[in-house]
Structure 1
Amino acid sequence: MTTFGYARVSTPDQNLDAQERDLKAAGCQLVFKEVGSGAKRSRPQLETMLSLAQTDDTIIVTSLDRLGRTLSDLIHLVTDFEKRGINFKSLREQLDTHTPTGRLIFHVFGAIAEFERHMIRERTQRGLAAARANGRTGGRPLLLSPDKLAKAVDLIDNQKLTLSGVARLMDVSEATLRRALKKGRG
């Protein structure tokens, strides 16, 4: 059973010494140190530590915000720890998933994060419905308006121009013209 520590600061001018000292005092045998925003997806030291951690190992951080910047990110990581049988501790918040109380607190955090995701989804759906009611459909603007598409059809059918020739005239790719013709004539 190994006890890993993870220390992170956001910028190079910040110092990792206090975190490293606290992690070693908490019994960490290996401390992985990272400089970079917690919002970054690529955190090589965290990834290395996670690849080494095994069942019954413990990962300790000085504070939850050192491990992840968002609640959903933290929940994802700690859920992964739980599935892999890895214990997790945060010193500042006195959170220890090895204890029943620590697991309960993290499950409450998880429920709050799920509730937040549902609320965001609901607000997004209401916003999209309101936009549609006001005539806005969203998405990428059409490269060929209905008028331009009608002109393209005329050029192909009546003027006998090639698809590539019409695409050049309309200043679109041949693939875009082909898709528009397929939808417009469908």
Structure 2
Amino acid sequence: MRIGYIRVSTEEQNTARQEALLRELNVDEVFLDKASGKSVERPELRRMMVYVRRGDTVIVESISRFARNTKDLLSLVEQLTGKGVEFVSKKEAIDTTTPTGKFMLTVFAAVAELEREHILQRQREGIAIAKTKGKYAGRKPLPLPEHFSAAVALWRRGAITATEAMKRTGMKPNTFYRRVREWEGERNVV
């Protein structure tokens, strides 16, 4: 069987281009995820990996639709190969049935990972520049839980442990301690 796999990062993104390509290639079954490619924990990808059988071919529009880093891509392809399943990426013209195809898969996976790292780096740089210009403040903090001040007061007096205060406020340790510092700082200014 010819199995198609489609992935877009968000619900809003359009799958039409990938779907048209797979129709042209006469795939028998299509699996579609609307999720980030940075993790292989995608429902339809997992379902497809279980579904495929010896002699099947998995076809994707590009390797970036299948995996976002070299390690994940090579691991997924190794799992397919172990089941006797071929992997084809149309954009990069990769076919794992040949030694050259296997080599090119590794090269293109590394390039795709590098591209993702460059995108993240540019994003971080853009945020840093925006912050210096006062145009980026990050997310607004969530309001403090209703019983925050009471829990902190009990904790500071030693009546309850920090762990108990965190349970009462529903906060994880880093968030709890950061919010306590911010809250106490605001109270000292007044």
**Fold match by TM threshold 0.5:** yes
The separation in 2 between residues aligned to 1:77 and 1:172, in whole angstroms, is: 43
The separation in 2 between residues aligned to 1:18 and 1:107, in whole angstroms, is: 25
Per-residue Cα deviation, 1:113-133 (whole angstroms, up to 9, x for no partner) = 9xxxxxxxxxxxxxxxxxxxx
The alpha carbon displacement at 1:108 in A equals 5.9
What is the identity, as a one-letter code, of the residue corresponding to 1:103? Answer: K
Per-residue Cα deviation, 1:78-119 (whole angstroms, up to 9, x for no partner) = 111111111000010000112332123236678x79xxxxxx
Aligned CA distance change for structure 1 residues 58 and 38 (closer, same or farther; 3 Å): same
What is the identity, as a one-letter code, of the residue corresponding to 1:30? Answer: E
Match of 1:10 in 2: 9
The residue matched to 2:39 in structure 1 has which SS?
coil
Aligned CA distance change for structure 1 residues 18 and 108 (closer, same or farther; 3 Å): closer
What is the identity, as a one-letter code, of the residue corresponding to 2:56? Answer: D
Aligned CA distance change for structure 1 residues 172 and 46 (closer, same or farther; 3 Å): closer
Whether the 8 Å CA contact 1:75–1:109 is kept in 2: the answer is no
Per-residue Cα deviation, 1:26-45 (whole angstroms, up to 9, x for no partner) = 22111111101012342111
Identical pairs, percent? 37
What is the identity, as a one-letter code, of the residue corresponding to 1:12? Answer: E
Q: Tell me the C-alpha RMSD between the 2 structures.
A: 2.6
Match of 1:89 in 2: 88
- TM-score (ref. length: structure 1): 0.56
Whether the 8 Å CA contact 2:40–2:67 is kept in 1: the answer is no
Match of 1:101 in 2: 100
Aligned CA distance change for structure 1 residues 16 and 76 (closer, same or farther; 3 Å): same
The separation in 1 between residues aligned to 2:37 and 2:46, in whole angstroms, is: 13
The separation in 2 between residues aligned to 1:3 and 1:26, in whole angstroms, is: 9
Match of 1:49 in 2: 48
Match of 1:176 in 2: none
Q: Structure 1 residue runs of 4+, over 2 Å off?
A: 103-110
The separation in 2 between residues aligned to 1:104 and 1:41, in whole angstroms, is: 22
Gaps of 5+ in 1: 114-167, 174-186
Residues 1-186 of structure 1 correspond to what in structure 2 (within 5 A)? 2-106=1-105
The residue matched to 1:32 in structure 2 has which SS?
strand
